[in-house]
A = this chain, B = another copy of it.
Amino acid sequence: MRDTLDFLLYDWLQVQSLQDRPRFADHSRETFDAVLDTCERIAREKFAPFNRVADLEEPRFDGERVHLPASTHAALAAYVESGMLAAAQDHEQGGMQLPLTVEMAANAFFSKASVAMGGYAMLTQGNANLLMAHGTPTQQAVFAANEFSGRWFGTMCLSEPQAGSSLSDVATRAEPDGETFDADPLGPRYRLTGHKMWISGGEHEITENIVHLVLAKIPGSDGKVVPGVKGLSLFIVPKHLVDPQGQLTGERNDVSLAGLNHKLGYRGTTNCLLNFGEGRHRPLGKAGAVGYRVGRPGDGLRCMFHMMNEARIGVGLGAVMLGYAGYEASLAYARQRPQGRPLTAAGKDAAAPQRLIIEHADIKRMLLAQKSYVEGGLALALYCARLVDEQHTGSPEAAVEAQLMLEVLTPIAKSWPSEWCLEANSLAIQVLGGYGYTRDFPVEQYWRDNRLNMIHEGTHGIQALDLLGRKVVMDGGKALMALAGRINQTVQRAGQVAGLATAATALAGALGAVGAATKKAWATGEPEEALANATPYLQAFGHTVMAWIWLELALAVEGRSDDAAQGKRAAQRYFYAYELPRIAAWLSVVERREPLVREMQDGWF
């Protein structure tokens, strides 16, 4: 993987050129490489060997404490030690001012080695980043700083048992804590009561404290809350209370673990039902979870989305790296496992030795599919990270364009790897055959772990509604036009390269088909007609984006004839021969606004 990462970062995305910008002036390819080397080593030594342990020794709750394997504690201690939690932060805050692109690339090693153990760190980073954007200076100094240092970890608490995808229906309440609630140096102080479900990292003893970011509703003077997402506000709810200097006061906050969820995979990350304000503890003398408001009342979802967009790209990257881990495991297996003989006349000699399975066409097809999914997925994730860097450090015009591109690419960066790198994991199992179905090999765990990614951080269906219902139509389609502009540039360049002209034409055709389907979906202007087939639209859109990425990568190796370049070219050819043609079937239902699923009635099932 390191070769591919280097190729993507330096040959394709040219991240070394970022040193021309003031924020990254202290950096160079050498400093980037040093970070990558360190992370690769820690992931190899402290994470990968214990990924199965984290799966087999599932978190256990004894009623008081949650127990995790010692190796999980050790791995995260090494991660904290590396300073990666603060890698993208300012020098003056103890950070490295690393570009997000390089930070994401470095974190990819941890996701590949153990996505579940890495989960705690990703959540903590996202949480602290949100506070850097929306918190007060004191909230940043107390909570964010202690998260960046790894002294505390963080969570995001959105879902509730009765409100998963529907945040409108969040029922957790936050009441001002006394008449002087507004005078607390940590922020306006509230008492929260409610239940939060699916909270990753919601309880553990890896760190001395846990910083929960919680969406809740503040009732009006009539005791009622504003219905819908407009009523949501955001709160910091620490597991243990702290003073404005960031020291634990010794008081336990009134938030407690109701139970752990027992999952199909991703078992190394605790996943919790948390009770807020049930009265089990009495911080500051009474029941109710103490929470400090972040941002204005009613502004909670907007603040949280700051974290969710980042989290969505991170989820996509996690899915990619699970796919990558399976690809490498199945490739290694195929290179050493003899089985069967060629289909040629020579293969009829049963006395001849068996061949390695990597020489069978169908095995190569399954490996090529994985390669196209995982390397393409990694490229897309890093491309999105590069857009974030552009948004933060580029020219004003470039920043605006990057923002538009991110709007439309985020649902793809999240959903596409969740679907296709899961398929990659299934293909990895298939390459190993019966052995792949056993727990003696790692591929079955990757497949189980990866199944979460189409569900959390906005399900596949939610991403589809976001894409077709919002992103491609917002501002008169500006974001879609920005993407189309970039794709057309690639088409133009590739059109002039002999070996890529056919692919360029195919990509132009796909882009045109997606554009036409977008228009036809919305031809009647009725959301329920347009969006009935949002998921097939998401799939077709994703495959078109990935075809674009692969043409970009093929252009980046143009003129080279080494093995790595041949491999990229083969993966691009694979994608155009086997994958891109699939979009016709997906788009056909979108463009005719196929009414079947709307017409279907409950009683007919």
Contact = CB atoms under 8 A, between A and B. Distances in A.
A602 interface: yes
Contacts of A584: 581, 584-585
Nearest to A159: B434
Q: Is the interface of A mostly helix, strand, loop or mixed?
A: helix
27 contacts: A159-B434, A163-B339, A164-B434, A165-B433, A168-B350, A169-B339, A227-B350, A227-B351, A261-B438, A342-B528, A343-B469, A361-B532, A364-B598, A365-B535, A371-B605, A429-B455, A430-B460, A433-B455, A434-B456, A436-B455, A437-B455, A444-B451, A564-B604, A578-B589, A578-B594, A581-B588, A585-B585
A340 interface: yes
Contacts of A600: 364, 367-368, 570
A597 interface: yes
A245 interface: no
A153 interface: no
A350 B350 CA distance: 70
Contacts of A451: 426, 429, 437, 444, 447
A570 B582 contact: no
Interface residues of A, number: 99
A263 B585 CA distance: 36
Given A165-B433, A197-B434, A371-B605, A570 B585 contact: no
A84 to B, nearest CB: 28
Interface of A: 159, 162-166, 168-169, 197-198, 227-229, 261-265, 331, 335, 338-344, 349-351, 354, 358-365, 367-368, 371, 426, 429-430, 433-434, 436-440, 444, 447-448, 451-452, 454-456, 459-461, 464, 469, 527-528, 531-536, 563-564, 566-567, 570, 573-574, 577-578, 581-582, 584-585, 588-589, 594, 596-605
B596 A368 contact: yes
A567 B599 CA distance: 11
Contacts of A437: 263-265, 451-452, 455
Given A566-B601, A570-B600, A603-B563, A430 B447 contact: no
Q: Among the interface residues A168, A362, A448, which one has the most CB atoms of the partner chain B within 10 A?
A: A362
Given A368-B596, A567-B604, A604-B567, A164 B343 contact: no
B439 A264 contact: yes
Contacts of A455: 429-430, 433-434, 436-437
B361 A165 contact: no
Nearest to A266: B437
Given A585-B582, A604-B563, A597 B263 contact: no
A531 B361 contact: yes
A434 B451 CA distance: 10
Given A434-B159, A528-B344, A566-B604, A165 B339 contact: yes
